[in-house]
Structures are given as C-alpha cells and as structure tokens.
Amino acid sequence: MIKVNAIGDNCPIPVIKTKKAMKELTGPDTIEVLVDNEIAVQNVTKMAQSSGGKVTSEKKAEKEYRILIEMEGAPAAEEAEEEVSCTPDKRGNTIVVVSSDKMGSGNEELGKVLMKSFLFAVTQLEELPKTMLFYNGGATLTTEESDSLEDLKNLEAQGVEIMTCGTCLDYYGLKEKLAVGTVTNMYSIVETMEQASKVIRP
C-alpha cells in the first residue's frame, strides 16, 4: 500500500500528491490518502474515479479522513496529465429520506437488493445530498450489520450528514450498534425536511 499524507494541505495539493503516487504505480496497488476536510475528499475522489480507481472513504475523526484508492496500475498518460482543479462543495440542499431497509413493495429480498443499489447510486451523484435521514426500518441501514455501511461512510466522508432516528434505534435494540452518522430526534427530522429544497424518498 502506498500512503499519501495530505493533512494540512489546501487544494489542489492533496490531488497533486495523489496523482504523483498514481504515476509511480508499476502494477495493481492501493493508495491510502489522509486529508483533513470534506472538500479534499470530494476532489481526490473525483480525480481518482476519472483515472480508473475504485474509491472508498471514511471519516476517522474530526478533521481526519481516509481515502482508499484501488488501482490496476498507473493511469493512462492523458488521464495523468489532466488539469488539476479545485471544485466547489458538491453538496446541494437535497435531503434523502430512507424509511425502510427495502425499496418498493413486493419481494423482500429484491427490495433489499434495490435499496443497496440505491444507496450506492447516491454516492455517484454529481451533486450530493446535504443530509440523509434514516428512520423506522431504514434505521437498520446505519448499524453494524448493514451491507451499505461502506457507501454511507463514503458519503459521510464527503460531508453528507447521516442522521438516524434515536427512537427507532431504541425500538430495534440497535442504539449501541450505530456505525455511521449521528442519532437524531423527530423535531430535527421535521426541521431538516422543512428546510430542504428537495426531498428524495426511495
């Protein structure tokens, strides 16, 4: 694994350091990039994906983010020479509300597969949501046994606020197993939805 420490670096330095590490690859390898803000996560993620990398990221602590980039080798020359730019925050004022661990009605197993695909698709949006709210059955998706934890941690690392209903976690006995985001209450859920410019419900 190649390690890149870009904590304390302003854009575009984290992207430049990561591109340099990519150019030095001689075969399949993983690059670990450490940064201290969500915008750096967004910029490094965008560049790495455009260079053919598989990217995951997570928030380790306040002002500490870890990005893992799986590469098959050095990017093609034209990709490596792409101009480095600092893009603005990708988050809009859209709220995603998830009230079940399944998407749609009908077959339960299919519904769970569709929900997992939906949450992954959110990570690929050009404009990320500002907040994702999880309540009722959706509260299980932010806990330790969730198949979507990697995608949700990726979104959180890019600045998306992940909020899960505390009453719901208590009901399912999962409050101690929350693995991403924070616990919220009904007042905050209503307030967040009321202030949103758009609400998406899968």
Q: Which two tokens stand for residue 168?
A: 């719901």
- Cα-Cα-Cα-Cα torsion 176, 178, 179, 182, nearest 10 degrees, comes to -120
Nearest-angstrom CA–CA distance, 157 and 108: 30
CA distance 67 to 154: 9
Residue 86 among the catalytic residues: no
Secondary structure of residue 28 in the 3-state scheme: coil
Catalytic residue (choose from 11, 86, 165, 168): 11
Q: What is the DSSP string of 139-193?
A: GGGGBTT-TTHHHHHHHHHTT-EEEEEHHHHHHHT-GGGB-SSEEE-HHHHHHHH
The residues carrying an active-site annotation are 11
